[in-house]
Structure 1
């Protein structure tokens, strides 16, 4: 099958690689976002998908806007049987959606109709979901609103981080896509309409979500910490007023406490305990501003942390 692949971040690379390794498929072009300046030096960098494509001598297209007529003509000339889209970053117009014989298939990192949008992995963990997964769907002009093809669910533990789930789902997504194509080509798959009334949304994360609010429950804060690990990271303010990123935690209990939220209530062998709006949270791995990540126990020793000290807004 002649396939055009559209994707941008690391999550999409696994699916592109799976298509390349499948002898029954030919990737005739890879479409990804334009190179953009990143990092401290604002150096112009390729997307992870482009880097992979270049290393495998694949044709790469980088339209600033997919509605561009010249770009659409270029796609039309390639005469694809299928377009595969994984975290591409632009909504496709109907002129592209109608182009391939088998349509456009999207690999989405959630159990649709839950968590439509750009950050489904983060939001599933922030919400404390007990399972997540991948859905393949036939694309329409909406945002993740197309008919579903296949789903694969995975259980989530109370400790699963965004990074761990990301790496698990990208492998599942690649496998599920190959199965979806095979069954679609054989006529052995029935598209299922989404229940739009059950839809939830996972919009782009904004900076405000990174800040820990100690007035919230221990479980809510714990879900934020693991849901933003390794990117972009949850943070609070140290007793010295500087930023402190928190990478790993454990809920001690969810009982009411008479301590002011943000108060360090105890030092433990593996970290320290902080009072929350409801419950107590043990911080296990932290990163002081301009320093490397360290165990919370090492942080306590190095920064002379004592019980009664306050984190975050509580200290003001």
Structure 2
């Protein structure tokens, strides 16, 4: 007898897991619940091309339709709405979530950004059973990826996506067997971020009164090309302030921990046109591009030299 599964999800990771499930002879995808808009994948078209049932929006709105399908599993893959009790109790073998964080740490929202902002050396994905509260169910399996000092949010998201797909593929065959082992989460170690924990319009603006490490983490955490880039304000000699994007940065940590008065001032211009900007503790941030132009050339295009401009 084929395993009957429902998949609710978004993005490339959900599409890859659906491809895997669709190709298995022992599995039937009895429905897909897709987001109305998806920047990375089209699960609606995926289902339509294969003549699968597709529901759009919040899975909790389809309890009657899904009850009739009698699923064995419901998989939540990069899916945003909280599954309520009637949905959680529906499948015979439970609901399973593929979360982009190493639970019990980094539950909730924006685990990629927070992992970088907090200076972690590794991130990952967790496959776990779902309960009434976000990201608190028993853990089935986890996978990790490394984070370097230069890793951006987009790079980390893509790395976790690939690792998460492999985790799902490797783990799926044992879910119906007696060999699947789970472990409860140590919720004393829980780290959870709510939806309002980051304001992307506000928090991606660089504050040059912070340390070099803090600024560099901000730049990396809010670099998600091509959709989002960190911002900085340039104070021009005529008194105007211009807000521009920052990319291709690097921290020059000289070991300083003493406050300085020239934070935001350009200390050096490299031969390749990169700017070295002072931070509050004396470390320097190397800025390669402003508004996607070589930093020195962008400032010159405004009619100024680098010595005329201060980062605010």
When normalised by structure 1's length, the TM-score is 0.86
Tell me the residue number matched to 1:34.
36
Q: Using a 3 Å threshold, how does the CA distance of structure 1 residues 273 and 177 change in structure 2: closer, same or farther?
A: same
How far 1:308 moved relative to its partner? Answer: 5.7
Distance (Å, rounded) in 1 between the aligned partners of 2:284 and 2:213: 9
Structure 2 residues without counterparts, runs of 5 or longer: none
Q: Using a 3 Å threshold, how does the CA distance of structure 1 residues 13 and 269 change in structure 2: closer, same or farther?
A: farther
What RMSD over aligned residues (CA atoms) do the two structures have, in Å? 2.2
List per-residue Cα deviations over 1:89-127 (Å, max 9, x = no partner): 111111111111210110011111111112111111121
Equivalent runs, 1:182-221 vs 2, <5 Å = 182-204=173-195, 205-206=198-199, 207-221=201-215
Distance (Å, rounded) in 2 between the aligned partners of 1:277 and 1:285: 21
Equivalent runs, 1:179-258 vs 2, <5 Å = 179-204=170-195, 205-206=198-199, 207-230=201-224, 231-240=227-236, 241-253=241-253, 254-255=255-256, 256=258, 258=260
Tell me the residue number matched to 1:276.
279
Tell me the residue number matched to 2:60.
67
Does residue 286 of the first structure (1) align with residue 280 of the second (2)?
no
How far 1:29 moved relative to its partner? Answer: 0.9
Equivalent runs, 1:1-316 vs 2, <5 Å = 1-35=3-37, 48-63=42-57, 65-68=58-61, 71-204=62-195, 205-206=198-199, 207-230=201-224, 231-240=227-236, 241-253=241-253, 254-255=255-256, 256=258, 258-270=260-272, 271-278=274-281, 279-287=283-291, 293-303=292-302, 304-307=304-307, 309-312=309-312
Aligned length: 296
Q: Is the 8 A contact 1:134 1:153 kept in 2?
A: yes
Greater Cα shift, 245-254 or 199-208: 199-208
Q: Is the 8 A contact 1:137 1:147 kept in 2?
A: yes
Q: Using a 3 Å threshold, how does the CA distance of structure 1 residues 12 and 296 change in structure 2: closer, same or farther?
A: farther
Q: Is the 8 A contact 2:144 2:163 kept in 1?
A: no
Q: Using a 3 Å threshold, how does the CA distance of structure 1 residues 218 and 28 change in structure 2: closer, same or farther?
A: same
How far 1:299 moved relative to its partner? Answer: 2.5
Q: Using a 3 Å threshold, how does the CA distance of structure 1 residues 17 and 167 change in structure 2: closer, same or farther?
A: farther
Greater Cα shift, 299-308 or 129-138: 299-308
Q: Is the 8 A contact 1:14 1:170 kept in 2?
A: no
How far 1:21 moved relative to its partner? Answer: 3.2
